[in-house]
Structure 1
Amino acid sequence: MEKFHQAPNVYVSEVGIKVMDLERSIKFYESIIGLRVLEQSAGKAVLTADGKLPLVTLEQPADIIPLQGRHSGLYHFALLMPTRADLGVFLQHLVQTNYRFGAGDHLVSEALYITDPDGNGIEVYIDRPHEEWAWKLGKVEMATLQIDANAIVAAGGNTPWTGMPAGTIMGHIHLHVGDTEKAEQFYKEAFHFETVAYYPQAAFMSTGGYHHHIAVNTWQGVGAPTPPRNMVGLIAYTMVFPDTATRQGAVERIGQMGVSISEEAGNYLTQDPSGNQIRLVVGQASN
């Protein structure tokens, strides 16, 4: 899996989300998802799997309002586990805690879906070996089938759940947008992503031949508006570039497209056509 989340690829490494109750959310992400607090301050907590790499940042703004209505924003962020055995241990953990979840076999991956206490979507998944992915005319074959839960649990053996394994990384992000074609065009032009699959009202994009680093959909409705600034949901996600020159090329293309981009502590902040905020950084290690 590592080859898709390191140079020369452009990929997602970290997600920031707004929550209603920080302590409640920390408890959920520790006890159910199995992440650990890396840093914590008033109204904010940074979570990690390995004790070093930030994966999810939780923030509780003073004027926070609940998730509501049909808006653009986060559909889910996706934590990629190292092995099927890890997914099996996690699946058994979800069953034992009786926490509600969904699941899907996507041919290229096997995935579990959980919603946090505020309605933020989370996918926890493993990739099948990329040599087994089926490609045709530049598109990868994907589907949503029933998982073989018994086989996945069996892969975990009798290993006890001790939290999210250290090798877990941010695999991808899936976003609600107001216009799939505009979003697809933006990601392709700005960051040189390639579209590798389509679902009804959705597009899946990547670099380096991955099944997707970014997905966009209009499942909240065509024309779904940007959510209020203080509503539960996505703050921003981090996109990693292999080097300064590659990032600079993206910065220049974004400027030429007439899209707002600002510099922030040596990094850049921009947004897609639906207002999803993107932080552009250079060379963060994947593990």
Structure 2
Amino acid sequence: MPDLRPDAHPGDAPALLPDGLALGPVTLRSRDPDALVPFYRAAVGLDVLARAEGGVVLGAGGRPLVEVVRDAAAPLPPARAPGLFHLAVRVPDRAALAARLLAARRLGLRLGASDHLVSEALYLDDPDGNGVEIYRDRPREAWPATEDGTIAMETLPLNLAALSGEATEEGGPAPAGTDMGHVHLKVSDLDAARRFWVDLVGFTVMAAYPGALFVSAGGYHHHLGLNVWHSAGGAPPPKGSTGLDHFEVRLPGDGVAALAGRLAAAGWPFARQDGGIVTADPSGNGVAFRAAG
């Protein structure tokens, strides 16, 4: 891999990604995609948008959010390998989050829950062990700021009794407006991850905690989480392993062309595909950058 030390390109300021950046679907690799469908339909509220021999596409309001590729021979990744910490499906309001809480309870699923000050979140694992967050944002004007201008986030207990009282239905399909709010990755080296995702790709650091960074574009609390809590020093999993194949980032305007120029100038390997570019971070996490719309 090319050298991405902070002094590798002296005099170059990090190029910021466009404010209109959004995340597209997360693509998972599974030995048996059909075994994941009941979870994503009943627990997360996603609809099956397409199904074929090669896998399944699930989403909400016609928007693809999770694509599962079938690979019966896919190896399992080592326990401490980098990869997906969780994908995060964002629902538009508290009632929709409450509906997912009731659905998870009805299904008897193991559930985590946190108040992050900027958002309220539920945490589940799909049948393959992929982490799934379902969350709703608090209004942006209510997000607390730190003295240095970054966003204050915490992991506090979520009042599930109060949340469940706001449900207008139990489960059901996720409402229109549901999207992929962020993706949280396990990485092997946090400094290397920062040099790639911040200094080269162009995300902005919004919060930093022991062993973790949260980065975004356009002032969002985070489009991407990066942590070494369980993966410090871990080698990338074998190619084609189950779990994260890649996730999609959509860039407005000339964002894709500008990013391709930065990657090329840095000598970072990437490929052009379907009008976008595909690459991987230093930990082997795959990402596709495509034009918005």
TM-score normalised by length of structure 1: 0.92
1:96 positional shift = 1.5
Is residue 2:277 matched to residue 1:251?
no
The answer on whether the counterparts of 1:240 and 1:282 sit within 8 Å (CA) in structure 2 is yes
Indicate the residue corresponding to 1:16 in structure 2: 27
Aligned to 2:220: 210
Q: Does residue 264 of structure 2 align to residue 265 of structure 1?
A: no
1:40 corresponds in structure 2 to: 51
Q: How many Å apart are 1:20 and its aligned residue?
A: 2.4
**Matches of 1:67 and 1:114, distance apart in 2:** 19
Note the C-alpha offset of 1:79. 0.3
Aligned residues: 275
Q: Deviations over 1:185-232 (max 9, x none)?
A: 211123321101012100000111111001101112322111111321
CA contact (8 A) 1:32 1:94 kept: yes
* Cα-Cα RMSD: 1.3
Contact 2:33 2:69 in 1 (8 A): yes
Counterpart position of 1:283: 292
Aligned residue in 1 for 2:149: 138
Give the counterpart letter for 1:54 in structure 2.
P
Q: Which residue of 2 aligns with 1:31?
A: 42
Q: Secondary structure at the match of 2:225?
A: strand
- 2:246 is the counterpart of 1:236: yes
- Equivalent of 1:87, from 97, 102, 112? 97
The match for 1:187 is 197
Q: 2:164 aligns with which of 153, 156, 177?
A: 153
- 2:77 & 2:91 partners in 1: Cα distance? 28
**Secondary structure of 1:135 counterpart:** coil
Q: 1:53 aligns with which of 49, 56, 63?
A: 63
Specify the SS of the correspondent of 2:259: helix
Cα–Cα, structure 1 residues 259 and 175, in superposed 2: closer, same or farther, change >3 Å? same
Deviation digits for residues 234-255 of structure 1, max 9, x if unmatched?
Answer: 0010011012x22111111111
The Cα of 1:256 is off from its aligned counterpart by: 1.6
Task: Find the aligned partners of 2:226 and 2:67 in 1 and give their Cα distance.
Answer: 21
Does the Cα contact within 8 Å between 1:237 and 1:277 map onto a contact in 2?
yes
Question: Shift of the alpha carbon at 1:67?
Answer: 4.1
Instruction: Give the fraction of aligned pairs with identical amino acids, expressed as a percent.
Output: 36
Partner Cα separation in structure 2 for residue 112 and residue 233 of structure 1:
20
2:275 and 2:291 in contact (8 A); partners too: no
In structure 1, the partner of 2:72 is 62
Query: Would you tell me which structure has more helix in proportion to its own residues?
Result: 1
| Cα distance in structure 1, aligned partners of 2:97 and 2:223 | 20
CA contact (8 A) 1:66 1:118 kept: no
Please say if residues 13 and 171 of structure 1, whose CA atoms lie closer than 8 Å, have aligned partners that are also in contact.
no
Q: Indicate conservation of the 8 Å contact 1:19/1:118, yes or no.
A: yes
Q: What is the alpha-carbon distance in structure 2 between the residues aligned to residue 147 and residue 62 of structure 1?
A: 38
C-alpha deviations, 1:1-47, integer Å up to 9, x for none?
Answer: xxxxxx73223221000122121111221122221111111131111
- Structure 2 unmatched ranges of 5 or more: 1-17
Structure 1: gaps (5+ residues)? 1-6
Alignment partners' CA distance in 2, 1:17 and 1:214: 17
What residue in structure 1 maps to residue 135 of structure 2?
Answer: 125
- The question of whether the paired residues in 1 share the 8 Å contact of 2:30 and 2:72 is answered with no
Q: 2: distance between equivalents of 1:11 and 1:184?
A: 19
Contact 2:32 2:72 (8 Å CA) reproduced: no
Q: Does 1:178 align with 2:223?
A: no
Distance 2:54 2:43 in 1: 21
2:81 touches 2:234 (CA, 8 Å); kept in 1?
A: yes
2:102/2:170 contact within 8 Å kept: no
Asked whether the equivalents of residues 217 and 223 of structure 2 are also in contact (C-alpha less than 8 Å), the reply is yes
